[in-house]
Chains A and B, each alone.
Chain A
Amino acid sequence: MMPFSQSTSTGPLAPHDFGPSGWTKADAAHLLRRAQYGASPAEMEQAHRAGPAATLDRLCAIQTESAEFTRADDLLRKTALDTGSTANLQAWWLHRMLRSANPLAEKMTFLWHNLFATSNDKVKDVALMLAQNDLFRAQALGDYGKLLHQIARDPAMLIWLDGNANRRRHPNENFAREVMELFSLGVGNYTEKDIQEAARCFTGWHMRDGEFWFNDTQHDTGSKTVLGSTGAFDGDGVIDICLKQPACPRFIATRLLKTFVQPEPDVATVQALADCIRRHQFQMAPVLRELLASRLFFSPKSRGCLIKSPLDLVLGAERALVTAPRLEPTARCLEELGQAVFLPPTVKGWEGGRLWISSTTYLLRANFASELAAGTKYGPLMDLDAQARDHQLLNATQAVTHYTGLLLATPPDAAVVARLRAFASDQTAPATRDRGLLQLILALPEYQLM
């Protein structure tokens, strides 16, 4: 067996010591809930049997997809391209998120989509959005620096941030601003002057016939000063300068921590991961391998502390409970909850955390729980009688223990358990009892956490 972690880090990124109780089912469930969009009971058992090292190795390397998956994927992709419909494009990606043999790669693909948030509302071209998504997937466990260079030439991005309007005599700051503010450094790490100068570097980076086109007549070849460096830089020059800034790995570290570990990482933790990112030269697979094996990741403070995004909530419930999730209502539900993929609300993407939760979205989340548990709209539920048989759910207490363990990130308060038991004990037939119980658990504030 491979060592659990090859990390040489000390501090928060040092490998977690599982101690005398070893790698528990709860540890396996914690890892899978974070590294993929939820997990089925079978996946959790499999990860628990395989152990942490094998599970992380599988997640952090690209696995061959099954023939069955590839057939469905090809068909959905072709349908999206043929129809040019955003809804079909969403169905294609949601299927990947639910069924791909590379769930962490899909989660990272989404992380890039959220970072380089581009909306088909403005691009209005499914083929270009799909090409951009392929770009994200190619670097999902790959090289952030390479991706930053590629995204500056990506046709969908050029449309989204008005590349063609950036001309020698009239520099348009839109892309240059976002490269620094949202794609690599964050507010406070550059000046307005840096943006104006960077915009000059990107002049003439245009798009023609759906492809990147360097329009040299519109490129400003003069000398520019960006973040303290002076030269006749072009766009690649600006990106290399951004990648060298200490703020850049910190910016990516913050995003990774907020997605996978904790809502408000402290400065020292961010710096520790930033150092790790710099050491691995922005290669995501080894960074994720260290992060997801770390003391920090498995600490009690990192459990059940992240508010689920709609993707985590909806796909997670479907993966856990629904045998064949229906993609179209799933996409519509995600849109209502505020996370229509390929249609981010702004160039800032989805901000997440507490901003996911308002009374409107809470109601929608509770209503999703009701409709999912009914087993029609989102697809049939797994066989609840078989679950009750296999796991010997002979009474309300056993049913509550089983399903809270499957669905909740941390054990709920005794007062919550008491109410779940009281509800479940009034029901006789296991299937009826557990359907109602599932609805109630999925509607709980506790289920909104992972």
Chain B
Amino acid sequence: MAGSRRIFLGQCGTAGAASVGGSLPGIWQSAVRAAGWLGKPGNSGRVLVVVEMAGGNDGLNTVIPFADDAYYKARPVLAVPKDRVLKLNSSVGLHPKLGDLRTLFDDSQVAVIQGVGYPKPDRSHFRSMDIWHTARPDSVDLRDGWLGRALERDPKALAGGVPALALGSEKLPLALLSGRVNVPNVQSMDAYKLLPGPGDPSAQARAKQMLREAVALKATEAGGELDFLRRTADVTLTSVDRLGEVAKAYKPGATYPETGLARKLQVVARLIAGDMGTQIFYVSLGGFDTHSRQQPVHELLLAELSGAVGAFLKDLKSHKLADRVMVATFSEFGRRVAENGSLGTDHGAASQMFCIGPGVKPGVTGSHPSLTDLVDGDLKHHTDFRQVYAALLQNWLGYPAEPVLGKGYQPVDCVKG
């Protein structure tokens, strides 16, 4: 594994040298830093868990600029009172339902990256989600996603296996789509089984064998629909066998809340403990599109996020796995600064991301965007989301960021050196 990693880090160095010019030393150093952990036995096998907050999370009521009067002016009904904010510093704090995140923050396991967005923000859920998934704001090319492209740099992923996994979704998230690497998605672990066909056991076994052989055939037209279907079928039949065997002995080391996200993250913990070699997990928490009567819904969602992530990291810690794992959250956009007339908020622009885990460089990164210097009533971003992706790819997972993202982005300083 280490050998193959070295190969693509080599590519990263070359690509960096070819085109980033002035910023070469920084990029080079992070590549070297990333390479450092690869050589250390027991320190390999880093994992990224992406948590999508679908619907457009109200970032302003997530990380709250409690010291700014403009916040209370813009949000006469929805503002969180100053005394209830879980303060992180003298200007911003977390929503009171993010108690577990606050505990993790105090334990130096949370990086809050403020003011994240992209130029000419799109307020359509679909388009903006596609932009975050593809990392291509200027193109409607939806053939692959940023994580899918990253996996294409990994010879091991290209060779098969289960390099990444989406949990709980019926469809594979676009972020994990690739023309060359197939990523399985598991909606439910219990249902992830191949039923036997008709006939006696020997006929069933032969049918399964014939199917395995037929899906492993190479299609004449590479990249065509049949090629895509065969590759998906192949990774499906492989992953069914692997997941069936993995981590039967796992016992959770934390009590998970009874929520959808917690159930998904518990499965992720089990699969990490089972050591299938999966580097990227993807889960989604939906419902953030709070146009009306926002407060009760938004509180529940933030509590679900915080409780699930808290239990997940505690569980991993009890299995001595936490050091290998980083959670990163995102939403397709934040919401308007001003609340609307129906006790809710409408689609906005810039917002924050959280990176969580012992491997983060902890603290609040970047200033909170101004609440008065707005574009069309929305916060201006100062950090491009691809700078965060660059940090996750390059400084955490050890993938070359530039070929994946199309150009060199200065990684946000959110991963420990």
Instruction: Determine if B210 is an interface residue (Cβ-Cβ < 8 Å).
Output: yes
Q: Are B232 and A362 in contact (CB under 8 A)?
A: yes
CA distance A173 to B193 in the complex (A): 44
User: From B231, which residue of chain A is reached at the shortest CB distance?
Assistant: A445
Instruction: Determine if B171 is an interface residue (Cβ-Cβ < 8 Å).
Output: yes
The smallest C-beta distance from B66 to any residue of chain A, in angstroms, reads 28
CA distance A436 to B206 in the complex (A): 10
CA distance A348 to B123 in the complex (A): 15
Instruction: Determine if A419 is an interface residue (Cβ-Cβ < 8 Å).
Output: yes
Instruction: Determine if B73 is an interface residue (Cβ-Cβ < 8 Å).
Output: no
Instruction: Determine if B211 is an interface residue (Cβ-Cβ < 8 Å).
Output: yes
Instruction: Determine if A415 is an interface residue (Cβ-Cβ < 8 Å).
Output: yes
Q: Name which of A177, A307, A419, A426 has the most chain B CB atoms within 10 A of its CB.
A: A419
Instruction: Determine if A382 is an interface residue (Cβ-Cβ < 8 Å).
Output: no
CA distance A445 to B239 in the complex (A): 17
The smallest C-beta distance from A436 to any residue of chain B, in angstroms, reads 5
The smallest C-beta distance from B128 to any residue of chain A, in angstroms, reads 11
Q: Are B194 and A367 in contact (CB under 8 A)?
A: yes
Chain B contacts for A448, CB-based, 8 A: 229
User: From B54, which residue of chain A is reached at the shortest CB distance?
Assistant: A346
Q: Are B203 and A366 in contact (CB under 8 A)?
A: no
CA distance A360 to B229 in the complex (A): 13
Q: Are B199 and A370 in contact (CB under 8 A)?
A: no
Q: Are B206 and A426 in contact (CB under 8 A)?
A: yes
Chain A contacts for B196, CB-based, 8 A: 370
CA distance A92 to B301 in the complex (A): 36
CA distance A440 to B203 in the complex (A): 11
Determine which of A181, A359, A370 lies in contact with B195 in the assembled complex, contact meaning CB atoms within 8 Å. Answer: A370
In chain B between 13 and 72, which residues have their CB closer than 8 angstroms to a CB of chain A? none
Instruction: Determine if B295 is an interface residue (Cβ-Cβ < 8 Å).
Output: no
Instruction: Determine if A26 is an interface residue (Cβ-Cβ < 8 Å).
Output: no
User: From B165, which residue of chain A is reached at the shortest CB distance?
Assistant: A359
**Known: A305-B225, A359-B235, A360-B185. Is A170-B341 also a contact (CB below 8 A)?**
yes
Stretch at the interface among B213-221, B325-333, B390-398: B213-221
CA distance A448 to B215 in the complex (A): 12
Instruction: Determine if B230 is an interface residue (Cβ-Cβ < 8 Å).
Output: yes
CA distance A181 to B126 in the complex (A): 10
Q: Are B236 and A435 in contact (CB under 8 A)?
A: no
The smallest C-beta distance from B252 to any residue of chain A, in angstroms, reads 24
CA distance A263 to B225 in the complex (A): 9
0 or 1 for each of B153-191: is its CB under 8 Å from A? (1 = yes):
000000000000010001110000100001011111001
**Known: A263-B225, A422-B210. Is A445-B198 also a contact (CB below 8 A)?**
no
Q: Are B197 and A370 in contact (CB under 8 A)?
A: yes
0 or 1 for each of A436-450: is its CB under 8 Å from B? (1 = yes):
100110011110110
A-B contact count (CB 8 A): 143
**Known: A358-B171, A359-B239, A416-B214. Is A423-B229 also a contact (CB below 8 A)?**
no
Q: Are B185 and A419 in contact (CB under 8 A)?
A: no
Q: Are B199 and A436 in contact (CB under 8 A)?
A: yes
The smallest C-beta distance from A192 to any residue of chain B, in angstroms, reads 7
Q: Are A177 and B124 in contact (CB under 8 A)?
A: yes
The smallest C-beta distance from B348 to any residue of chain A, in angstroms, reads 13
Instruction: Determine if A371 is an interface residue (Cβ-Cβ < 8 Å).
Output: yes
Instruction: Determine if A420 is an interface residue (Cβ-Cβ < 8 Å).
Output: yes
**Known: A373-B198, A416-B217, A420-B210. Is A363-B240 also a contact (CB below 8 A)?**
yes
Q: Name which of B123, B124, B170, B376 has the most chain A CB atoms within 10 A of its CB.
A: B170
Q: Are A362 and B206 in contact (CB under 8 A)?
A: no
Instruction: Determine if B342 is an interface residue (Cβ-Cβ < 8 Å).
Output: yes
Instruction: Determine if A413 is an interface residue (Cβ-Cβ < 8 Å).
Output: yes
Instruction: Determine if B254 is an interface residue (Cβ-Cβ < 8 Å).
Output: no
Instruction: Determine if A83 is an interface residue (Cβ-Cβ < 8 Å).
Output: no
Q: Are A162 and B291 in contact (CB under 8 A)?
A: yes
Q: How large is the interface on A (under 10, 10 to 19, 20 to 34, 35 or more residues)?
A: 35 or more
The smallest C-beta distance from A19 to any residue of chain B, in angstroms, reads 24
Instruction: Determine if A406 is an interface residue (Cβ-Cβ < 8 Å).
Output: no
CA distance A366 to B233 in the complex (A): 9
**Known: A366-B211, A415-B217. Is A357-B170 also a contact (CB below 8 A)?**
no
**Known: A371-B195, A445-B230, A445-B233. Is A181-B239 also a contact (CB below 8 A)?**
no
**Known: A170-B341, A363-B236, A444-B211. Is A338-B170 also a contact (CB below 8 A)?**
yes
Q: Are A373 and B126 in contact (CB under 8 A)?
A: no
Q: Are B123 and A449 in contact (CB under 8 A)?
A: no
The smallest C-beta distance from B55 to any residue of chain A, in angstroms, reads 10
Instruction: Determine if A187 is an interface residue (Cβ-Cβ < 8 Å).
Output: yes
Chain A contacts for B187, CB-based, 8 A: 360
CA distance A187 to B137 in the complex (A): 13
Instruction: Determine if A269 is an interface residue (Cβ-Cβ < 8 Å).
Output: no
CA distance A371 to B195 in the complex (A): 8
CA distance A440 to B215 in the complex (A): 11
The smallest C-beta distance from A158 to any residue of chain B, in angstroms, reads 15
Q: Are B198 and A439 in contact (CB under 8 A)?
A: yes
Q: Name which of B126, B191, B226, B235 has the most chain A CB atoms within 10 A of its CB.
A: B226
Q: Are B229 and A449 in contact (CB under 8 A)?
A: yes
Instruction: Determine if A49 is an interface residue (Cβ-Cβ < 8 Å).
Output: no
CA distance A427 to B206 in the complex (A): 11
Instruction: Determine if B340 is an interface residue (Cβ-Cβ < 8 Å).
Output: yes
Q: Are A439 and B197 in contact (CB under 8 A)?
A: yes
CA distance A10 to B182 in the complex (A): 41
Q: Are B292 and A165 in contact (CB under 8 A)?
A: yes
0 or 1 for each of A315-341: is its CB under 8 Å from B? (1 = yes):
000000000000000000000001000
Chain B contacts for A420, CB-based, 8 A: 210
CA distance A445 to B228 in the complex (A): 9
Instruction: Determine if B8 is an interface residue (Cβ-Cβ < 8 Å).
Output: no
**Known: A363-B194, A363-B236. Is A440-B124 also a contact (CB below 8 A)?**
no
User: From A438, which residue of chain B is reached at the shortest CB distance?
Assistant: B198
In chain A between 199 and 234, which residues have their CB closer than 8 angstroms to a CB of chain B? none
The 5 closest A-B pairs by CB, nearest first: A359-B184, A445-B229, A359-B236, A439-B197, A358-B172
Q: Which residues of B contact A (CB under 8 A)?
A: 123-127, 140, 166, 170-172, 177, 182, 184-188, 191-199, 203, 206-207, 210-211, 213-215, 217, 220, 225-226, 228-230, 232-233, 235-236, 239-240, 291-292, 340-342, 346, 376
Q: Which residues of A contact B (CB under 8 A)?
A: 162, 165, 169-170, 173-174, 177, 181, 187-188, 192, 263, 305-307, 338, 346, 348, 354-355, 357-364, 366-367, 369-371, 373-375, 413, 415-416, 419-420, 422-423, 426-427, 432, 435-436, 439-440, 443-446, 448-449
25 contacts between A and B (CB under 8 A): A170-B341, A170-B342, A305-B225, A306-B225, A307-B225, A307-B229, A338-B171, A346-B125, A355-B172, A357-B229, A358-B166, A358-B171, A358-B232, A360-B170, A360-B187, A366-B233, A366-B236, A370-B195, A415-B214, A439-B207, A440-B210, A444-B214, A445-B215, A445-B232, A445-B233
